[in-house]
Structure 1
Amino acid sequence: MFSGWNWVAHSLYLFLNICSLEVSGELVQSCGHIIPESPVLALGSNFTALCVLNESCLDFGNIYASQIIWKIKNRVVPKEQYREINRTVSSVTFNDTSSLATPLTCNILADGQIEQNIYGITVTVGLPPEKPKNLSCIVHQVSKLTYPMNCTWNPGRHTFLDTHFRLKYRWLQENFPDCIPKDVNNSCTITEVQFFVNMKVWVEAANALGKAESDPLILDPIEIVKPLPPHNLSVNSGVLPTVLKLSWENRISAAVMKLKFNIRYRIMGDTNWMQVPPEDTASPRTSFSVQGLRPYTEYVFSIRCMKEDGVGYWSDWSEEKTGVTTEDKPSKGPPIWRIIDVSHSPPSWSVHLMWKALEPFEANGVILQYEVTVRAKSSLSSPPEKYSVNTTNLTLKMPNGTYEVTVVARNKVGASPPSVLLIPANNSKAPVKNVRTLPKDGKLWVGWTAPNSYVLKYVIEWCLVSNSSDCIIEWQNEPGNVQGTYLKGDIKPFKCYLITVYPLYADGQGSGQSVKAYLQQDRPSKGPTVQTKKVGKAEAVLTWNHLTVDEQNGFIRSYTIFYKTIDGNETAVTVDPSKTEYTLSSLASDTLYTVRMMAYTDEGGRSGPDFTFTTQKFGKGEIEAIVVPVCLAFLLIVLLGVLFCFNKHGNNSTQVNILQLDQKRKHNFSSKDQMYPEGSFTDVSVVEIEADDKKSFSEQDLKPFDLLKKEKSTSEGHSSGIGGSSCMSSPRQSVSDSDEGETTQNTSSTVQYSTVVLNGYRDQTPVQVFSRSESTQPLLDSEERSEDHHAGGGDSTTQRQQYFKQNGVQGETNTDRPCFERMKQITSANEGDTIGFAQLQISGQCSQLLGLGLEKNSQEAAVSDVVQASTEGQTVGPEIVEGNTPSVDEMPKSYLPQTVRQGGYMPQ
């Protein structure tokens, strides 16, 4: 514990010895110092500093040179640059002072490794001064008696040190005080100089690193004088309209210096100065007359002077003064042009004459009026027409022809030379060729190729093309020997101009050649708005309107159409700028497309709004290509069906008497095989029921038809039973070919039944058997169930019996067996039954089955009698067969023969 306090006390004592006061009250001497003290060093040179420790500090503080640490601006210098000279001296060396900064300090580590600062110095690094260069002096005249001399020089490079300059001068052997610059270090003014005496002038530069002097300048101050400019300048008009007289005062005595002058002038508003030839003003003077000026023109003048022999400096330009020349008659006639409107009824011209006001240098005064003379070339004897106007245009009505127009401008001095314009009946002379334009230097240049003939002059006509205003014509004349010029009007960028060049000859003019031009182009103000004109399955016809001239801002070089689907890539198509319609092809059907359009000038393009459309699902003609063949096929099928039915109907159109009997009767038909031999055929008869006869049916007789009607409605579209044909199931009109000219009857009133005639075996007589034929009338339940009869037997018979019992059919000898069942039994009889009786019996039973108990016409009465006789058991003899069989023509027309397959089944 005690040793620790001793160490703290020892360190504190050491610190107090270094930094505190002595007992005597004076500053304690430092424990060391650095040599040299605050040095100024040349940039890039070598430098070595020494830190010397005091002997008084060595024993007490145990301080030695080996413990010294060098620092530059708190940065430790590498120990490689240290050198211990002895126990009290340490040095540090810098090979290049460019890296040396301030301060440079010497530090030491005392007991306890506490760093203490021993000493520090400020190091200044710089360059010695260079030799001043380009020393020059000028004597400025301040007044008639005061002439201070100001000298300037180039001080050279920057030294980074305080460098002082002095201007030294002397006359002969007499020295004068140095001139020390005040504000800047490269200029100094000597207040008094002596003319006509040579003096020596030089500059000295000095800083901590050295001195330098400029080359001496030896001169006479009178040779470097810059005099004051003349003053009190005045300008007066002379006798002639082209002369102005100037006068002024000089501010330097002629005894001291003789002067020469420069006079410059310009037209008011112009920036270009003109100068009087120097040789005309090379002698001392105080006035001068300027000639060759324009009449009635305002000029601005200024003047300066210098020593007559040209040694020294020109004075500044004097203040500016203006003067106006007097008027003179106009130097030329006004440029004239015309616009002709042709009227066809009556044939005449409306000529708009126009001319330009003369420029001031051409008018030479104030133009009071214009005199216009119009002379018809076709009638030289008639007096010319004269007009006096104070405007620059005149409109005349005149017949078609050739005219000479002259215009004269007049001021108070006189009239101008006449301007002549020939108005020919037609532009029959050679025109210019290859009219072209070129923007250049902010102006629009127009060039052309001259015709082979001699041209008196050219007229360049132009106007601004705009949708918002009419094309107001501007024009200018050019000599006949030029082939290009700049337009002199106010030509604006992004605007379209129509430029026309006319060649004028002494005896006529050529037709104008035109070209459109822009001073400067830009992108269009907007893009085209595209729409669809027609949309198909794989193509779309797009249409748009051209941009207006005000929207184009340049020449439209091309259009580009961009189109895409919602999830597809965008496709671009380039279109000629003259087009307003384009067809997109190879599109996907039933697809939404987005399309936009861009218009391009030489400076870029701009896009119009997006437009959407959807392609069609089917292309043109595809629906027709599908529907028409289907319809045609359907119609063809229907037609073939109808033709097939009619063809079948025609093949069986030969009417056969339902009571036809063979003259030869054959017996022994005991077997079924004999009844249905091979090669048998069928004849079909149709019994027609007149529509009017339906009314005589009793309610009881109509019940079977009501039942059939009900069944038909539930089975529409299906086959109508045995032998049924779909072609006859729909209602259609049937035409009866009776001799009495019976009208068309609906087939719904026709019931068709068949007479089946079986060929006999060898010499046997064929037997006629009735079977079911095709009919448009609804079938009876017994007929509808015929298939069941053949297939099932007893069930079908039971249903038929129930049907006849329900409907109360009279005249049936056996109600349990319908006509078709009994037909089969009769045809299978061997002996004792005549064929005619069987036929009549079956026919009568079928007729009663169909309810044919109505009133009959003359044709049906015979059949009814025969049926009645058969029911009474009478036999139809051969005499009836042979003598009473009706012919085909005598048979009722309601019987239509049809061929029926054996068994009553028609092929389907």
Structure 2
Amino acid sequence: MFLSWPIGPAFILAAVQISIGEKSCVLWSSAGLVVPRGSTFEVYCTFSCKSKKYIYSGNPPQKHSHQVFNDTTIYLKIDNLTSTTTFSCSCEDKLKLDPCGQDISTGYPPDSPKNIFCIYEIQKLESGVVNCSWDGGRDTFLWNHFVLRVRTLSGNVTGLLQFNVSMKGSVRPSVNFTVSRSVDYISVWVHARNSLGSAESPVINYTLRDRAKPSPPILGQPDCSSRKCEVKVEQSLNTSYLEIQYRADHQEWRTDPDSVGSSQVRSIATLEPYRLYHFRARSKFSFGLWSSWSSNVSSWTQEEAPSGALDVWIVHSPGSKSMTVLWKEPNTSISRGKITLYTVRVSSPSLNLTTNVSADSRNYTVPLCSHYEVTVWAHNSKGMSPPATMTPLYTEAEPLQHVNATANKSSVTISWRKPELTAAMYVVELYPEDFLLNELRWVLLNKSETTAVFSGIKPYECYEGAVYVFYNKSFVGKNRSNRVAALESEPKSSPSFKEKVEGNNVIVTWEKLPRAFRMGCITQYTIYVEGNTGYSQNYSVGASKTKLKIKNLLPDVYTLWMTASTAKGEGPKSHKGKFPIKQDNHLSLLLACVVAVLMVLLLLCLCQNPVVKQRFWELFQCLMLDVVPDPANSKWAKECTKEKQGRLSIQLLSSGSTSTDQEEDTNLVDVEELFKQTTDTSLPTTDSAQLISLSPDADLTTLMYPPLTTYIKSLSHDSDTNTTVDYISSDGPGNMEDGEEEEAFEDMSFLPSHSIFLTEMLQFDGTLTLDAVKIDCSDLQTT
């Protein structure tokens, strides 16, 4: 039904309101104050002022461009209004007066009520309560008024009851009313109306006996043992049937098959130890409907000793001298009570250690030793669990093949292929990279399973798994899975690195990204190197590496930076580092030394040739220093020319004498030397500590190239009691008799030389001894 106000009466009403001074203006709608949704209409304002006028809508108010109807009235056209809106008007010269305004509501007319449903609950022997509810249809966005009409029939007596319900929204309306137990039949229907229209439902007839049900039972507190609970039931009226249901936490309701009956005390004997059970009940007459469910009551069953062994696993960190025993908290079906403590025993030929740990503990560290077993028990108030034994020292066996990990948004699945040998059980691990001990997740599976599913994983976290196959107690194979992540993106950060220059090489070391910045599984690190002279190179290394040596860089100044990558892309660049590569002076020196050694070796090889050796010897003599004494021009040679009878005056100097002492305190020794000419000549050597004077009678030719004598015997005159014998060797073969010459050659082998080549050119046989050069004093003649 569409409501519309006539324009004429509206103007008259506005004029009356303005004349009595209630408002500065009057507002009304051409369609009324309640309109169907989507309506188009006009909103009018009539003013008592002649100044500028305005129309607003909404909250807070928004000004609109209006149209003029006459000198006192303006209006605004509204198109497709879909919600209740507030409209207001004001006059510029009367701002002190209250503006006029009005809410215009929108909605739908009511639908016909349907799905009427009535239940007859008998609470007393004399009367019962009828509850009727119905579906009021779609939400009209308006206040709806419902009228429930009930016609009763008791024998031949009829009655009419009426109940009013007002509500807004789409909630299912309902009405409760009391009727006598003598009423056999009722007829019900509903009338609905709102500002836009009205509707009525069809009539529904009920036989109250068919709709009758008892009140819900009342349950007492259960009395429970470890396997059974007894529940007491109270009811206001006797019923024919009683049903009790029970469930443990987070399980579905189950009906005890022995609970259906009329007994007021029920025993439920299909329960588990140490469980919190909830109970509820309902009842039914021999006719009608089941009652509503009673309120729930709860109770714990008593404890029993644990029924099964714990799940135990052992973790060993490489390089550590200890191992960590892990175990899982047993579920209630195994624990059968509240765990009070755990017992850990380490047994070996050299160690037997038993320790009790608290019920909150899930791990215990034991020393690492050979040939031992670890056993763990759980205790509750009724006893202890069977032992769970594990040995950490396995014999390596054939690992599993085709171990594969896959991930979705909430779980990781690890699967594998069954081994050829028959497995006893599997242990499957799942852990994030660089995990802490409490982040390790593991599960024991029987030999028939080939898949393990771990739920509740974190996004942007890299996980890795491992599968252990037990062929018997200590014969174990292991294989790792690939790395996976539920969600991935490019890394948020870059590695922190350091560079160290060693010659023309640089060693780059870095730290792995923190887990919060990896955003998945790192696939590689990339090192970028650029030189000032145009060199550019990058190096990719695996995710497990933290060091790279870059070799054979040319002298330059280099810039280095790094990035990390996942399967989704490369992360941001790190800070840049600069390092110089300098010229290697040690290498140049080494090369020079190598060249010098090669040249020396080359010269030594050349000197093996006699011609070359002769050339070197001549060159060596040319380079001899001038200070080398010449025996022909020595003082000894000159004095020899003055001795007519072949006598020599030899001046001996003590080692501590000075040059002045040589002239003043000279010890003169007369030596008679017998010469024998020979065609062989040799260079004599001179002793700088002795000044030798030749006799003037000596032959000049002989003096210039004196023949080598076998020995010279001298006797000092400085001592009367002690005779000192000096041996002065002429360093070479002299002129002597044939027998003497052969004997001298056999006893002499020393020849001083200034060159390594002279030794080979001048060779003598024999060995020089003191007996060979001893001087006979009988040959000395005093001058």
* TM-score of the pair, normalised by structure 2: 0.51
Q: Which runs of structure 2 are paired with 1:575-724 in the superposition (5 Å)?
A: 576-577=542-543, 580-581=547-548, 593=559, 595-602=560-567, 606-607=571-572, 609-613=574-578
- Work out the CA distance in 1 between the residues paired with 2:104 and 2:336: 80
Tell me the alpha carbon deviations over residues 414-464 of structure 1, each in whole angstroms, 9 at most, x when there is no partner: 67555565x598625433333343446745544332212222222345677
1:407 positional shift? 6.9
Q: Which runs of structure 2 are paired with 1:293-304 in the superposition (5 Å)?
A: 293-295=271-273, 297-304=274-281
Which is helix-richer, 1 or 2?
1
Greater Cα radius of gyration, structure 1 or 2: 1
Letter in 1 for 2:254: Q
Partner of 1:136: 117
Letter in 1 for 2:220: L
Letter in 2 for 1:512: K
- Work out the CA distance in 2 between the residues paired with 1:162 and 1:558: 68
- Work out the CA distance in 2 between the residues paired with 1:224 and 1:433: 67
Tell me the alpha carbon deviations over residues 211-231 of structure 1, each in whole angstroms, 9 at most, x when there is no partner: 532121111345445754332
Letter in 2 for 1:433: Q
SS of the residue 1:512 aligns to: strand
- Work out the CA distance in 2 between the residues paired with 1:19 and 1:358: 86
Tell me the alpha carbon deviations over residues 289-335 of structure 1, each in whole angstroms, 9 at most, x when there is no partner: 2233222x0322120315357954652441332132342x4322344
CA contact under 8 A between 1:73 and 1:102: conserved in structure 2?
no
CA contact under 8 A between 1:435 and 1:446: conserved in structure 2?
yes
Q: Which runs of structure 2 are paired with 1:725-764 in the superposition (5 Å)?
A: none
CA contact under 8 A between 1:231 and 1:319: conserved in structure 2?
no
- Work out the CA distance in 2 between the residues paired with 1:130 and 1:425: 79
- Work out the CA distance in 2 between the residues paired with 1:42 and 1:358: 65
- Work out the CA distance in 2 between the residues paired with 1:191 and 1:364: 51
Q: 1:611 to 1:397 in 2, by over 3 A?
A: closer
Letter in 2 for 1:180: N
Pick from 497, 512, 522 the counterpart of residue 478 of structure 2. 512
Partner of 1:325: 302
Q: Which runs of structure 2 are paired with 1:1-400 in the superposition (5 Å)?
A: 74-75=74-75, 129-139=110-120, 147-156=128-137, 164-172=145-153, 174-183=158-167, 187-195=173-181, 197-206=184-193, 211-224=198-211, 228-238=215-225, 241-251=226-236, 253-254=237-238, 258-266=240-248, 270-277=249-256, 279-295=257-273, 297-307=274-284, 312=289, 315-327=292-304, 329-336=305-312, 358-365=330-337, 390-391=356-357
- Work out the CA distance in 1 between the residues paired with 2:500 and 2:352: 61
Tell me the alpha carbon deviations over residues 834-866 of structure 1, each in whole angstroms, 9 at most, x when there is no partner: xxxxxxxxxxxxxxxxxxxxxxxxxxxxxxxxx
1:578 positional shift? 5.3
Pick from 551, 559, 566 the counterpart of residue 525 of structure 2. 559
Tell me the alpha carbon deviations over residues 488-537 of structure 1, each in whole angstroms, 9 at most, x when there is no partner: 9x97777777654332234652233334757767765742234555599x
CA contact under 8 A between 2:190 and 2:201: conserved in structure 1?
yes
Partner of 1:685: none
Partner of 2:451: 484
- Work out the CA distance in 1 between the residues paired with 2:466 and 2:205: 71
CA contact under 8 A between 2:346 and 2:366: conserved in structure 1?
no
CA contact under 8 A between 1:371 and 1:389: conserved in structure 2?
yes
Tell me the alpha carbon deviations over residues 165-186 of structure 1, each in whole angstroms, 9 at most, x when there is no partner: 3211102472414211144586
Q: 1:359 to 1:367 in 2, by over 3 A?
A: farther
Q: 1:225 to 1:533 in 2, by over 3 A?
A: farther
1:598 positional shift? 1.9
Q: Which runs of structure 2 are paired with 1:711-860 in the superposition (5 Å)?
A: none
- Work out the CA distance in 2 between the residues paired with 1:37 and 1:551: 64
Partner of 1:529: 496
- Work out the CA distance in 2 between the residues paired with 1:353 and 1:161: 69
* TM-score of the pair, normalised by structure 1: 0.45
1:557 positional shift? 0.9
1:151 positional shift? 3.0
1:482 positional shift? 1.5
1:563 positional shift? 7.2
SS of the residue 1:284 aligns to: coil
Letter in 2 for 1:189: V
Q: Which runs of structure 2 are paired with 1:423-442 in the superposition (5 Å)?
A: 427=395, 429-439=397-407, 442=410
1:479 positional shift? 1.6
Tell me the alpha carbon deviations over residues 382-426 of structure 1, each in whole angstroms, 9 at most, x when there is no partner: xx99987645879689865xx8887776777667555565x5986
SS of the residue 2:334 aligns to: helix
Q: 1:396 to 1:318 in 2, by over 3 A?
A: same
Q: 1:316 to 1:608 in 2, by over 3 A?
A: farther
Q: Work out whether 1:458 is the aligned partner of 2:437.
A: no
CA contact under 8 A between 1:540 and 1:615: conserved in structure 2?
no
SS of the residue 1:555 aligns to: coil
1:202 positional shift? 0.6
Letter in 1 for 2:175: T
Q: 1:152 to 1:482 in 2, by over 3 A?
A: same
CA contact under 8 A between 1:193 and 1:221: conserved in structure 2?
no
SS of the residue 1:263 aligns to: strand
Tell me the alpha carbon deviations over residues 802-859 of structure 1, each in whole angstroms, 9 at most, x when there is no partner: xxxxxxxxxxxxxxxxxxxxxxxxxxxxxxxxxxxxxxxxxxxxxxxxxxxxxxxxxx
Matched positions, count:
530
- Work out the CA distance in 1 between the residues paired with 2:453 and 2:333: 20
SS of the residue 1:510 aligns to: strand
Unaligned runs of 5+ in 1: 1-17, 21-35, 48-67, 78-95, 104-121, 344-348, 377-383, 629-733, 745-908
Partner of 1:89: none
- Work out the CA distance in 1 between the residues paired with 2:72 and 2:501: 90
Letter in 1 for 2:228: V
CA contact under 8 A between 2:217 and 2:283: conserved in structure 1?
no
CA RMSD of aligned residues (A): 6.6
- Work out the CA distance in 2 between the residues paired with 1:330 and 1:192: 56
1:620 positional shift? 8.7
Higher RCO (C-alpha under 8 Å, 6+ residues apart): 1
Tell me the alpha carbon deviations over residues 689-711 of structure 1, each in whole angstroms, 9 at most, x when there is no partner: xxxxxxxxxxxxxxxxxxxxxxx
CA contact under 8 A between 1:127 and 1:209: conserved in structure 2?
yes
- Work out the CA distance in 1 between the residues paired with 2:429 and 2:81: 79
Letter in 2 for 1:243: K
- Work out the CA distance in 1 between the residues paired with 2:76 and 2:368: 107
SS of the residue 2:422 aligns to: coil
- Work out the CA distance in 2 between the residues paired with 1:511 and 1:426: 9
- Work out the CA distance in 1 between the residues paired with 2:39 and 2:429: 80
- Work out the CA distance in 1 between the residues paired with 2:188 and 2:333: 55
Tell me the alpha carbon deviations over residues 249-308 of structure 1, each in whole angstroms, 9 at most, x when there is no partner: 124x12xx5444241221xxx43344225x54443343322233222x032212031535
Pick from 547, 550, 553 the counterpart of residue 512 of structure 2. 547
- Work out the CA distance in 1 between the residues paired with 2:151 and 2:384: 72
CA contact under 8 A between 1:194 and 1:221: conserved in structure 2?
no
Tell me the alpha carbon deviations over residues 197-241 of structure 1, each in whole angstroms, 9 at most, x when there is no partner: 221111123467765321211113454457543324221124xx3
Partner of 1:447: 415
- Work out the CA distance in 2 between the residues paired with 1:575 and 1:390: 48
Q: 1:314 to 1:399 in 2, by over 3 A?
A: same
- Work out the CA distance in 1 between the residues paired with 2:342 and 2:174: 67
Letter in 2 for 1:478: L
CA contact under 8 A between 1:202 and 1:217: conserved in structure 2?
yes
Tell me the alpha carbon deviations over residues 7-44 of structure 1, each in whole angstroms, 9 at most, x when there is no partner: xxxxxxxxxxx999xxxxxxxxxxxxxxx998999999
